[in-house]
Copies of this chain bind each other. A is one copy, B any other.
């Protein structure tokens, strides 16, 4: 197993532990916004470095991503004092079979109509680098740098 694969596997384990992330995007005027998002289930053993989210086509974040693909995902688990920063590039994806593969009933909180919602889309985030901190005094550990 290469170092990169090991890193990705460890990263996948950390991320899977934290249900919601703060997805940060840059707006047209340069201001930076974040919002909580549910990371869709990933395959920890064969993680390929792409994270998936459901999002509305007309949302502010989709608009930001169409203009500037750079995003950050901040994962915080305060009770374990564990923090992860993922930097990557986002794409809007309208692949119906991928949506079917990833759909879970808990998504009904934001998409009551489910996959029938004409506004539904996926956001994929290809990880470019990641850092973790796993105790307050710990130095940052660079995990993935691609």
B137 touches A33 (CB 8 A): no
A35 touches B85 (CB 8 A): yes
A24 part of interface (Cβ distance < 8 Å): yes
- A68: chain B residues within 8 A (beta carbon): 30
Please report whether the interface of chain A is mostly helix, strand, loop or mixed according to DSSP. strand
Q: Determine which of B24, B110, B128 lies in contact with A24 in the assembled complex, contact meaning CB atoms within 8 Å.
A: B24
B74 touches A136 (CB 8 A): no
| Interface set, chain A 76-109, CB cutoff 8 A to B | 76-79, 83, 85, 87, 109
Cα of A100 to Cα of B26 in the assembled complex, Å: 34
B30 touches A34 (CB 8 A): no
**A79 CB to closest chain B CB, in angstroms?**
7
B87 touches A31 (CB 8 A): yes
Q: Fill in one digit per residue for A106-129: 1 if any B CB lies within 8 Å of its CB, else 0.
A: 000110000000000000000011
